């Protein structure tokens, strides 16, 4: 049974979430943001809905959505179709393998900013043997895109080895200080790693336990296919509700960035207090999440969100 204090915490956090999503973004305070994790019994989902042709479906109402958490239907405490700003982190491969795509990635990043929410917060990390902050965090409407482009060209030197595992962990660390509830990591790389101190299992665990939606752009050198790992890139995107892109050539890179920008701005936001789990003794049990959407005209819809989260048991739960 939930204690009175636990329920009060959930209500307080839910109230903060409602204020966050209905107030002007300039008044958002970091201490008001909810997290995806359930330490306060509040789960927030960002859900993308498209038809079979890939067109985004707008105008859906709350009763069109069904959330299944650990096999149990949930009651939505909050629903919003309004566009909300996000904190977006770019994680860009700066190793030798990036050399043929460097200029296109920089140009695509600038175009991404032009398609972003004016209140989005953006930062850029690069990685080869070392992780470096290349830009930000900065708010889009305050950014000089010419200065951004110049800095990116200076920072992306395309040399050295590849520490993508360390880079992803660094990106998630930066997102923990995010200004906005909506958190996004865009990973641009071939997915291969030959220099990280961290292991792939470390990365997958942190990604599953984070609030971030991960989008991945796999730039695979056709002459060095064996050095890439597009499978990892797909896995990161799928488990977090993001998308995986694999441009066939350098001219397709801008299209991938444009699609990501649109996807971020087209999501619905749902929140619910999950029903109590089982009586198991696990300290870090992972709950699975599925979202179903009923189209008003009966069309089959493609629904995408993260596939689960780790619950955290409070000290009261363990007593």
The structural domains of the chain, with segments of one domain joined by +, span 4-83+274-318, 87-265
- The overall average pLDDT reported for the chain is 86
Using DSSP, state whether 53 is helix, strand or coil.
Answer: coil
Alpha carbon separation from 109 to 3, 28, 83, 86, 112 (Å, rounded) = 48, 26, 21, 16, 5
Q: Name the superfamily (CATH) of residues 87-265.
A: von Willebrand factor, type A domain (3.40.50.410)
Q: Which of 3-12, 181-190, 203-212 has the lowest mean pLDDT?
A: 3-12
Alpha carbon separation from 107 to 33, 137, 153, 264 (Å, rounded) = 32, 19, 9, 19
**Bigger pLDDT: 123 or 9?**
123
Give the pLDDT band (50/70/90) at residue 311.
Answer: confident
Alpha carbon separation from 139 to 70, 120, 250, 286 (Å, rounded) = 37, 6, 28, 34
Q: What is the reported pLDDT for 38?
A: 40
* Structure token pair of residue 243: 């998308």
pTM: 0.86
* 152-161 residues labelled b (16+ CB within 10 A) or e (exposed): beebbebeeb
Give the pLDDT band (50/70/90) at residue 110.
Answer: very high
Give the pLDDT band (50/70/90) at residue 142.
Answer: very high
Whether the predicted pLDDT of 4 surpasses 50? no
Question: Which residues are CB-neighbours of 192 under 8 A, at least 6 positions away?
Answer: 97, 162, 164, 227, 228, 229
Whether the predicted pLDDT of 272 surpasses 60? yes
- Residues of the chain with pLDDT > 70, as a percent, come to 81
Count of CA atoms in the C-beta half-sphere (13 A) of 242:
28
Whether the predicted pLDDT of 64 surpasses 60? yes
Q: What is the reported pLDDT for 314?
A: 53
Whether the predicted pLDDT of 37 surpasses 50? no
Cα angle 220-222-224, degrees, rounded to a multiple of 5: 80
Q: Which of 55-69, 104-118, 249-263, 270-284 has the lowest mean pLDDT?
A: 270-284
Alpha carbon separation from 10 to 1, 3, 207, 306 (Å, rounded) = 14, 11, 24, 21
- Residues of the chain with pLDDT > 90, as a percent, come to 75
Q: What is the reported pLDDT for 211?
A: 86
Q: What is the reported pLDDT for 140?
A: 98
d(CA 159, CA 168): 19
The residue count for the chain = 319
Strands of 244-245's sheet in order across:
131-139, 121-127, 86-93, 182-189, 212-218, 244-245
* Structure token pair of residue 68: 């299944």
Burial of 287 (0-12, 13-18, 19+ CB in 10 A): middle
d(CA 305, CA 313): 24
């Amino acid at each position: 049974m939930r204690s009175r204090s636990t329920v009060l915490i959930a209500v307080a956090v839910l109230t903060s979430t409602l204020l966050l999503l209905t107030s002007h973004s300039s008044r958002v305070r970091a201490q008001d943001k909810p997290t995806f994790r359930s330490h306060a019994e509040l789960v927030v989902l960002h859900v993308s809905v498209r038809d079979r042709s890939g067109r985004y479906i707008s105008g859906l109402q709350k009763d069109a959505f069904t959330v299944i958490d650990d096999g149990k239907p949930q009651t939505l405490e909050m629903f919003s179709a309004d566009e909300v700003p996000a904190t977006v982190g770019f994680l860009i491969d700066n190793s030798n393998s990036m050399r043929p795509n460097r200029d296109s990635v920089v140009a695509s990043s600038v175009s991404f900013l032009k398609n972003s929410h004016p209140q989005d917060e953006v930062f850029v990390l690069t990685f080869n043997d070392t992780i470096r902050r290349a830009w930000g965090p900065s708010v889009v409407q305050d950014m000089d895109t010419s200065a951004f482009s110049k800095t990116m060209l200076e920072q992306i030197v395309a040399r050295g080895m590849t520490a993508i595992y360390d880079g992803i962990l660094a990106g998630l660390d930066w997102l923990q200080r995010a200004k906005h509830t909506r958190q996004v990591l865009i990973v641009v790389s071939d997915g291969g790693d030959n220099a990280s101190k961290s292991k792939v299992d470390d990365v997958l665990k942190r990604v599953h336990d984070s609030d971030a939606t991960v989008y991945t752009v796999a730039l695979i050198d056709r002459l060095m296919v064996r050095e890439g790992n597009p499978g990892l890139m797909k896995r990161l995107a799928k488990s977090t509700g993001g998308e995986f892109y694999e441009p066939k050539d350098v001219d397709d890179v801008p299209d991938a960035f444009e699609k990501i920008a649109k996807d971020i701005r087209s999501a619905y936001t749902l929140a619910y207090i999950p029903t109590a789990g089982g009586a198991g003794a696990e300290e870090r049990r992972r709950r699975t999440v599925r979202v179903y959407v009923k189209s008003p005209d009966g069309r089959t819809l493609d629904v995408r969100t993260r596939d689960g989260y780790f619950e955290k048991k409070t000290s009261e739960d363990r007593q």
